[in-house]
Amino acid sequence: MKTRVTELLGIEYPIIQGGMAWVATHELASAVSNAGGLGIIGAGGAPASWVREQIQAAKKETDKPFGVNLMLMNPEADEIAKVLVEEKVKVVTTGAGNPAKYMDMWKAAGIKVIPVVASVALAKLMERGGADAVVAEGTESGGHIGSQTTMTLVPQVVDAVSIPVIAAGGIADGRGFAAAMMLGAEAVQMGTRFVVAEESTVHENYKDRIIKAKDIDSEVTGMSTGHPIRVIRNKMTREYLKLEKEGATLDELEHLTLGALRKAVVEGDVMYGSVMAGQSAGLVKKKETCAEIIADVMNTAQKLLNR
């Protein structure tokens, strides 16, 4: 399928794997790129040296384009921004802010810049700043979220900008893909479904928790702190939400979440760790290779879009 996004990125299918902190390692990113989508390494809060190693490993595993997600709150963001240029990364997605200060450097290096946005205002700002496309991410997503739904946000962003829009949040199969195209998106970004891919290196307990999840199993922590995060409900979220209700301070809440994503992803502690996943977890039923996931999404979507 050809869209402006497949042309822009030089990929076969308009499917992007979200750059997920701790989860989106070179193994996952290169598998998605080899399957014809765009794999993305998630820099999360990792140091610049780790990001460089990941990029170099991915280059050995694929000759297809892949990208890196830079969380702008990363303490080494300035350094990572330079590593992306030095390593000639093709695509950068950015989260948690405005990448304006890196834009000139990245554009001069020929890097395609795709900020993740949760509002029309930010999408317009990014377009004015030179972004090549935007990911419009709805509140159904796993991880850090905004407040608008994918269903309402995507068409409003499509109407507001002329650069291509990539839909994210709640899309986990061909039906979601087709719906996103109907809303005017030219690609989708999926996170939760790729967490359980065979090539994903996250702990099996994490994958099993997503596979067992029902429609109502995700919860949003951090509303009171201004940093809402969607995760699967467990002992940690119950405790967190109880404290939030009681008006706990940021410090009191932070001890529950500090290192909690690592605890779940690496140690497999799905009771006290942060099992970030979206509302689409209920749609994710089995482990498959990235190639199988992409084929499944595209086959269903093509049938729906052609009928």
Ligand X SMILES: Cc1cc2nc3c(=O)[nH]c(=O)nc-3n(C[C@H](O)[C@H](O)[C@H](O)COP(=O)(O)O)c2cc1C
| 46 touching ligand X, by CB under 6 A | no
Among 5, 9, 15, 23, binds ligand X (CB under 6 A): 23
Residues between 70 and 89 with contacts to ligand X, criterion CB under 6 A: 71
| 38 touching ligand X, by CB under 6 A | no
Among the listed residues 65, 56, 19, the one whose alpha carbon sits nearest the alpha carbon of residue 38: 65
**Stretches 31-39, 54-62, 140-148, 178-186: which one binds ligand X (CB under 6 A)?**
140-148
Binding mask 224-263 for ligand X (x = CB under 6 A): ----------------------------------------
Residues between 103 and 132 with contacts to ligand X, criterion CB under 6 A: 116
| 42 touching ligand X, by CB under 6 A | yes
How far apart, in whole angstroms, are the C-alpha atoms of residue 157 and residue 164? 10
User: Please, what is the minimum distance in Å from the beta carbon of residue 278 to ligand X?
Assistant: 3
The three-state secondary structure class of 196 is coil
Phi, psi of 10 (to 5 degrees): 70, 40
Residues between 172 and 211 with contacts to ligand X, criterion CB under 6 A: 189-192, 195
Instruction: Closer to ligand X by CB, 36 or 278: give it.
Output: 278
DSSP code string of 257-279: HTTHHHHHHTT--TTTS--B--G
| 277 touching ligand X, by CB under 6 A | yes
How far apart, in whole angstroms, are the C-alpha atoms of residue 54 and residue 41? 7
Instruction: Closer to ligand X by CB, 50 or 248: give it.
Output: 50
Q: Which helix (H) or strand (E) holds 116?
A: strand 112-117
The DSSP call for residue 163 is S
Among 14, 142, 174, 282, binds ligand X (CB under 6 A): 142
Among 95, 115, 164, 222, binds ligand X (CB under 6 A): 95
Number of residues in contact with ligand X, rule: CB under 6 A? 29
Among 18, 39, 99, 174, binds ligand X (CB under 6 A): 18
Residues between 155 and 174 with contacts to ligand X, criterion CB under 6 A: 168-171
Work out the end-to-end distance of the chain between its first and last CA atoms, rounded to an integer number of angstroms: 16
User: Please, what is the minimum distance in Å from the beta carbon of residue 163 to ligand X?
Assistant: 18
Contact of 21 with 187, CB cutoff 8 Å: no
User: Please, what is the minimum distance in Å from the beta carbon of residue 266 to ligand X?
Assistant: 12
CA distances (Å), origin 113, targets 80, 106, 108, 218, 297: 14, 8, 11, 30, 25
Residue carrying the six token digits 């893909």 = 177
**What order do you get walking across the sheet with 143-144 strand by strand?**
143-144, 229-232, 218-221
* Chain position whose Cβ is nearest to ligand X: 191
Instruction: Closer to ligand X by CB, 158 or 166: give it.
Output: 166
CA distances (Å), origin 104, targets 135, 225, 233: 20, 33, 41
Instruction: Closer to ligand X by CB, 44 or 164: give it.
Output: 44
How far apart, in whole angstroms, are the C-alpha atoms of residue 297 and residue 239? 37
| 139 touching ligand X, by CB under 6 A | no
Binding residues for ligand X (CB under 6 A): 18-21, 23, 42, 44, 69, 71, 95, 116, 137, 140-143, 168-171, 189-192, 195, 276-278, 280
